[in-house]
Structures are given as structure tokens and as C-alpha cells.
């Protein structure tokens, strides 16, 4: 993968982590959203691992 494409994908993934973090924080303030909170947390972890493999 060319370096520029890799950098662009990493930037997009970082944006996705930011967006999912906002969702996570919003869900954390709501009672009864434990399942969605866990899903969001797992999504953030998967995105983070993808960034690690690209870096």
C-alpha cells in the first residue's frame, strides 16, 4: 500500500475513533444502554487495532 494511501486510511480511522468516542460518552450517561456501550467499545478497539496494523 503506498505511503500516502496508508496515511489517509489512518486519518480516516482516527476520525472514526473520535466519532465512536462521542457515541460512547453519550451512551455512558444513559441508563440501560450497557449492550450498545459494549458494542461501541469493541468497535473502538477494532479500529485501534486496525490503525496499529497500518502504522
Q: For each of the chain's 55 residues, which pLDDT tens digit applies? A: 688 899 999 999 999 999 999 999 999 999 999 999 999 999 999 999 999 999 8
Question: CA-to-CA distance for 22 and 55, rounded, in angstroms?
Answer: 24
Question: CA-to-CA distance for 32 and 4, rounded, in angstroms?
Answer: 42
pLDDT, residue 28, reads 95
Name the domain count of the chain: 1
What one-character-per-residue DSSP string does the chain give? --HHHHHHHHHHHHHHHHHHHHHHHHHHTSTT-HHHHHHHHHHHHHHHHHHHHH-
Question: CA-to-CA distance for 5 and 19, rounded, in angstroms?
Answer: 21
pLDDT, residue 18, reads 98
Residue 28 is part of which domain span?
3-54
Amino acid at each position: 500500500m503506498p505511503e500516502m494511501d496508508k496515511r489517509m486510511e489512518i486519518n480516516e480511522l482516527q476520525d472514526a475513533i473520535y466519532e465512536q468516542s462521542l457515541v460512547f460518552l453519550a451512551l455512558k450517561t444513559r441508563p440501560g444502554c450497557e449492550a450498545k456501550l459494549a458494542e461501541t467499545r469493541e468497535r473502538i478497539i477494532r479500529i485501534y487495532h486496525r490503525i496499529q496494523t497500518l502504522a
